[in-house]
Amino acid sequence: MDVPSLHSQFLSDALPRIRQDARMVGVAITGSLVGDRHDVYSDVDLILVVDDEAYDAVMRERLALVGSWASLVAGFTGEHVGEPRVIITLVGPPLLHVDFKFVRASDFAERTEDPEILWDRDGLLSGVLVQQPPVTPVFDLQWIEDRFWIWVHYGATKLGRGELFETISFLTYLRETVLGPLAARRVGAIPRGVRHLEAIAPEEARNILATLSGYDRHEAGRALLATVDLYRRWSDAGGAVVERRHHAEKLAMQYLQDVIDQGC
């Protein structure tokens, strides 16, 4: 695996220490280091596969274990991203972001993409990858359509009240939740917010520039209209069968336009 020298040195130091713990079944790596988009700024995303019977005990010791495997600077658990099994850390110096995800051996097969196995004590991990393919996450366009026009109204209320920080934050949410995944879908990539969008969908990324806004009411209104325009165009592409909420769309857009006109 061809990775930057700092990342390579971390793996060379940590893997032998991890292997000394008999409760560990194997170690795999996922994320950008597995593909061809890694650079010196990439994180290390490790999967620590733990014997099922030892899992609870290991989970209680996670931070201490990480500290014994690497020079831990700081770390916390990943509940905020819906993944409490992950310890998000800085190790070093030199500083390196490393995510340690602890999974039961019986759960290793549950994945959205294939990791690269770095160490496999008894060949268990390799066998699992062969027997059970990854499950690609489904982008549910109906879920978006059911919510989008309510979101548009919400953004319009923030704009109308003059809460521009809230409006700017909301535009970011729509890029992460709606436009980024739609852009990835257009080029056949896995929807993951706006991550790597400049590289995987450069034309779409340029279009999304129109949804950016500074601290200016006129700019924010323009950005909301641009967001709606891209959603309409991109959600209609690809042949997905979606029940459109036309009545909600008409009323929400009328409300947004009224708010924008009031500020002119």
Q: Look up the CATH number of the domain holding residue 162.
A: 1.20.120
Considering the domain architecture, whether residues 148 and 249 belong to the same structural domain is answered as yes
Q: What is the mean pLDDT of residues 173-202?
A: 92
For residue 2, pLDDT over 80 is answered with no
Q: Is residue 136 part of a domain?
A: no
Residue where a domain terminates, one of 96, 131, 166: 131
Q: Of 131, 164, 198, which residue sits at a domain end?
A: 131
Q: Write the CATH number for 36.
A: 3.30.460.10
The residue among 113, 131, 149 that closes a domain is 131
pLDDT band at 264 (very low <50, low <70, confident <90, very high): low
The band of 126, judged by pLDDT with boundaries at 50, 70 and 90, is: confident
- For the cut 80, the answer to whether the pLDDT of residue 237 exceeds it is no
- Residue 115 domain boundaries: 5-131
Judge whether residue 11 has pLDDT over 90: yes
In total, the chain counts a number of residues equal to 264
- Kindly report the average pLDDT of the chain as a whole number: 92
- 101-113 burial by CB neighbour count: b if 16+ within 10 A, else e? bbbbbeebbebee
Taking the mean position of all CA atoms in its chain, how far away is CA 25? Answer: 27
242 and 127 belong to one structural domain: no
Work out how many domains the chain is built from and give that number: 2
Q: Kindly report the pTM of this predicted structure.
A: 0.82
The verdict on 158 and 258 lying in the same domain is: yes
Tell whether 126 and 182 lie within a shared domain: no
At residue 165, the pLDDT reads 98
Statement to judge: residues 109 and 182 lie in one domain: no
Average pLDDT over residues 203-231: 97
If asked whether residues 23 and 73 sit together in one domain, one would say yes
Q: 249: pLDDT confidence band, cut at 50, 70 and 90?
A: very high
Residues 209 and 102 in one domain: no
How large is the average pLDDT for residues 228-245?
A: 88
C-alpha dihedral (229, 231, 233, 234), degrees to nearest 10 = 150
Q: Percent of the chain at pLDDT above 90?
A: 73
pLDDT tens profile 138-185: 788 999 999 999 999 999 999 999 999 999 999 999 999 999 999 999
